[in-house]
Amino acid sequence: GAVVSQHPSRVICKSGTSVKIECRSLDFQATTMFWYRQFPKKSLMLMATSNEGSKATYEQGVEKDKFLINHASLTLSTLTVTSAHPEDSSFYICSASRGLNQPQHFGDGTRLSIL
């Protein structure tokens, strides 16, 4: 199988806090990982694509200084929401792939609530 673990599953924190979300591929090496954001009753929107050992590629309109992505190993990528505000509250999902044009395997998502 191809298992992707995302942690934490839920975060509630105060405005101004920075929050780190981890995405791990448990049984395969993920050269590429993806971060999505999902608003209620809306589709998933790709935020950024990260390749192991290189800088992430952000989609248009996504603030790279706000959403810091690190992909330091073949099994771990992190998304840090810096100085989070209520409008950052959302459902964040990661996925991992063995490489270009290979199937993506999704984590269970992180519900982020900023008070």
Spatial CA neighbour of 32 closest among 48, 8, 51:
51
Contact by Cβ (8 Å): 94, 70: no
Dist CA 64 CA 62 (whole Å): 6
**List of residues contacting another protein (CB under 8 A):** 4, 6, 32, 34, 41-46, 49, 91, 93, 95, 97, 100-101, 103-109, 111
- The smaller minimum CB distance to another protein, of residues 86 and 103, is found at 103
Dist CA 26 CA 16 (whole Å): 32
- The smaller minimum CB distance to another protein, of residues 18 and 55, is found at 55
CB of 16 to another protein, least distance (A): 26
- The smaller minimum CB distance to another protein, of residues 37 and 114, is found at 37
What is the SS3 assignment for 88? helix
